[in-house]
Amino acid sequence: MAYEPRGDARLDLRGDPRFDYDLVKKRQQARFDAEKEAPRAPSPATGVELGVEGVPDRGPACEPVVRMEPRPLPKRATSRGAQCPSGTVIFSVISTTSPVMSTRRCAVLGAGRRGSRIRAHVPLIEAGSGERPRMHAFGSSMRARWSTWSPRARAQSRSAPERLAPHRQVQLLWLITLLLVVAAVVTGPLALGTTEANIKTATSRLVPASAQLENAARNYTAGSAGLLAAIQMTDQTARAGAINQLASYDTAANAAWNSYTRLAANLPGEVKLRQQAEADSQQLSTAGLAALYPTSNSSTVVATFTAAAARQQQALGELQRLYESRINQVVTNANQSFGAHRRDLLIVAIVALILTMISFSIVTSSIRRRYRIQVDEGRRNDFESGLQRALEMARTEQDCYALMQRAVEGISPALCSEFLVADSSRAHFHQVITTGIEGGPGCPVMAPDDCPATTRGQTEKWPSSTAIDTCPHLRDRDTGSCSAVCVPVSIAGKTVGVVHAIGPDHDPPHSSTSADLELIARKAGERIGILRAFSRTEAQARTDPLTGLLNRRSLEAAVLDLTADARPYAVAYGDLDHFKLLNDIHGHDTGDRALRLFARVLRDEVRPNDIAARYGGEEFVVVLPDCTIADAYTVVDRVRTRLADAQRGGSVPSFTVSFGLAPGEADLAFGEIVEQADGALLRAKSEGRDRVVLAAGTGDGASDPDTVSTLEPGLPSRS
């Protein structure tokens, strides 16, 4: 099966007689119709969801959504066509390069008996990771693509609206502003169209008609007054001049009236008033002629003329008032329309200004937030790189602890914190650094298993020590109520430490401070883990794995340092007596126990600066710096005696040890001195074992440092 580079996997459906879409479709149709609209409660366990688009030549998929639920997968269900305990038919095996699933692991899909639901067995997906394969049809196979899914997250995403990004919010505000401006620009001329038509009508007809009415009324009034004056004249010449003036008034009045009739707007009631004014004008002309050339009682004629003139003036006055009222109405409507339009434009401008300010504020806050994030990220990156470089120069755990203290004081000098680390047994915490007040916060937690942060493996923030859900170790402290943040420290993959920092009650350390503490804890834990791994590897390379003593290479390196410093030393070469026989009779396990017992006795009886090493097999070499041959003899003989005491418990069969002792000489190499000690050891073997013998030339006796043991040819080999 080929693997896709993006974590995809192919499901080959060809040649599988167990998976028949038509048969499954028939069995599912009735239940599918009933369950189609019914809501399904999401499974409380984290699962994966599979969307099936369809399969070629098989029709549409049986169900558009397949939920993959994590459950144990039996061993017999790991091959195609196998049968699960629930009756699910396995039709394919998926292998994936997804980061939460190993390529050596597999997940199995199947079509089962649960109606419209296709069961899937995914036993190896981690709880909470929630991956979802999206299946798309490709020829006669299906492709599964993994993405995040969680039932609770899907339910929340359906109910909670998505928050727009800042640039989307700005775009939306600008779109609303543009729509408002366009609406104001478009609806303004439409709303002012009627006002504009009314104003045009007023300027082209109403105002000129009103002016002509006023002109006609003025001429009619002047003519009536001139006629009455002419009636009273007795001088014929003056009377004739007055009559000529009356003619001019009448001509001007008629011209003005004709102009009015052409411009008349036919307002409500205007036609009736115009007809009445024309009738009054006709009566006025008749009465005027009768008054100028009286044939009857002149007083009656004058009264008739005066009454006709009054009616005419009344009709003309009503016409003028009608036009003036209409003109005033048009002007008032125009003012109101212009005022409303001005108000709308002002509102649109204010709204646009507000939206512009809001968008500017959003953009500004977004830029500031991004700038703060960038500055914080830059500061944290610089801090991380500097801390990393400093930790790389730390050679011991104490150096790492000192750097941690400086780093914590650097991010917050006033922060009261401490670093607790478990001992090698992980049974007890001990305090290694403190900052702030003397003695640090003084957390009373005793072991990693008692600390919520280390047991949960994540940073814990406690806003108040008085809260019901706070850490129990925060309550009832001598310093009073407080807040705290606890950052677990993982060393070599194990959470064995915690950085504990406190602050005022209901005011825990800032989130940036918590992030810096997490960074310090992570980097320090990594470096301490590396140092411990180096120390462990170095110890394994320098020591013998069975006895824990130095190996031959480490012994030679330590002796080179002694030689370089010109320090005197003595060499003791030891060998367990009859060790081969002990191995053959009691077995190699007993021999290993004997070696470990002797190594323990040797380590306990020599000084801390003495160099004890396993030289090979059952042979041991002890280098005693700054030690005379007499003192060396005493030490080695005490080791031999203590070995006999240590075997009284009966854990191993009784055995003894023989030693050869030689002093270090400046003109001899270490190998030559070891050969001398080896020769003395062979002498001890030949003399009966379980003794200490000095090298030749050292003294005169075999078992006394004041005597010398001589080597004779033909000594037996040691065993």
* Section 678-695 average pLDDT: 93
Q: How far is CA 94 from each of CA 74, 118, 527, rounded to the nearest angstrom?
A: 16, 15, 39
507: left (phi over 0), alpha (psi -120 to 50) or beta: beta
Residues 331-381 have pLDDT tens digits of 888 888 888 878 877 887 788 788 778 877 887 888 888 888 888 889 889
Predicted confidence at residue 295, as pLDDT, reads 57
Grouping H, G, I as helix, E, B as strand and the rest as coil, residue 45 is coil
Eight-state DSSP code of residue 450 = G
- The predicted model scores a pTM of 0.52
How many whole angstroms separate alpha carbon 109 and alpha carbon 118?
8
pLDDT band at residue 98 using 50, 70 and 90 as cut-offs: very low
Closest CA to 600 of 566, 663, 647, 531: 647
Q: What percent of the chain has pLDDT over 90?
A: 30
pLDDT at 671 over 80: yes
Q: How far is CA 468 from each of CA 140, 218, 471, rounded to the nearest angstrom?
A: 59, 100, 9
| CA dihedral sign of residues 702, 707, 712, 717 | positive
How many whole angstroms separate alpha carbon 146 and alpha carbon 129?
11
Predicted confidence at residue 40, as pLDDT, reads 44
Q: Which structural domains are found in the chain, ordered by start?
A: 9-159 (no CATH), 175-357 (1.20.1330), 401-540 (3.30.450.40), 543-694 (3.30.70.270)
Lowest-confidence pick of 14-28, 482-496, 647-661:
14-28
What is the pairing mode between strands 48-52 and 692-694?
A: unpaired
Select the more confidently predicted residue: 520 or 306: 520
Predicted confidence at residue 256, as pLDDT, reads 86
Beta bridge partners of 657: 576
Predicted confidence at residue 405, as pLDDT, reads 92
How many whole angstroms separate alpha carbon 514 and alpha carbon 487?
8
Helix (H) or strand (E) holding 194: helix 166-201
Residues 181-190 have pLDDT tens digits of 787 777 767 7
Residues 551-595 have pLDDT tens digits of 999 999 999 989 888 899 999 999 999 999 999 999 999 999 999
How many whole angstroms separate alpha carbon 625 and alpha carbon 335?
117
Burial class for 186, CB neighbours closer than 10 Å (0-12, 13-18, 19+): exposed
Predicted confidence at residue 27, as pLDDT, reads 61
| Strands, sheet with 429-435, edge to edge from the N-terminal-most edge strand | 429-435, 416-422, 494-503, 483-491, 460-462
Token pair of 401 as six digits: 């602890």
pLDDT at 128 over 90: no
Predicted confidence at residue 190, as pLDDT, reads 72
Predicted confidence at residue 191, as pLDDT, reads 67
Predicted confidence at residue 105, as pLDDT, reads 33
Contact residues for 307 (Cβ-Cβ < 8 A; gap 6+): none
How many whole angstroms separate alpha carbon 436 and alpha carbon 414?
5
Select the more confidently predicted residue: 690 or 32: 690
Long-range Cβ pairs for the range 699-706 (8 Å, 24+): 699/629, 705/629, 705/630, 705/633, 705/634, 706/630
Closest CA to 308 of 298, 297, 316: 316
pLDDT band at residue 31 using 50, 70 and 90 as cut-offs: low
Residues 608-620 have pLDDT tens digits of 999 999 998 899 9
Q: Torsion angle of alpha carbons 564, 570, 575, 576, nearest 10°?
A: -120
* Section 512-516 average pLDDT: 91
How many whole angstroms separate alpha carbon 700 and alpha carbon 702?
7
Predicted confidence at residue 625, as pLDDT, reads 94
Residues 147-206 have pLDDT tens digits of 333 334 444 444 445 566 766 777 777 788 788 778 777 776 776 677 777 777 777 778
Predicted confidence at residue 294, as pLDDT, reads 61
Grouping H, G, I as helix, E, B as strand and the rest as coil, residue 603 is helix
Lowest-confidence pick of 87-101, 229-243, 656-670, 680-694:
87-101
Q: Which residue has the tokens 């917050």?
A: 412
Select the more confidently predicted residue: 25 or 341: 341
pLDDT at 90 over 80: no
pLDDT band at residue 527 using 50, 70 and 90 as cut-offs: very high
How many helices (H) and strands (E) would you count in the chain? 15, 18
Predicted confidence at residue 648, as pLDDT, reads 83
Angle, CA of 148, 152 and 158, to the nearest 5°: 90
Helix (H) or strand (E) holding 498: strand 494-503
8 Å CB contact between 718 and 681: yes
How many whole angstroms separate alpha carbon 256 and alpha carbon 280?
16
How many whole angstroms separate alpha carbon 157 and alpha carbon 152?
9
Q: Torsion angle of alpha carbons 252, 256, 262, 264, nearest 10°?
A: -160
Work out the mean pLDDT of the chain and round it to a whole number. Answer: 75
pLDDT at 143 over 50: no
Q: Which residue has the tokens 């401070």?
A: 513
Q: Which residue has the tokens 């859900």?
A: 469
Predicted confidence at residue 26, as pLDDT, reads 60
8 Å CB contact between 443 and 420: yes
* Section 462-473 average pLDDT: 91
pLDDT at 327 over 70: yes
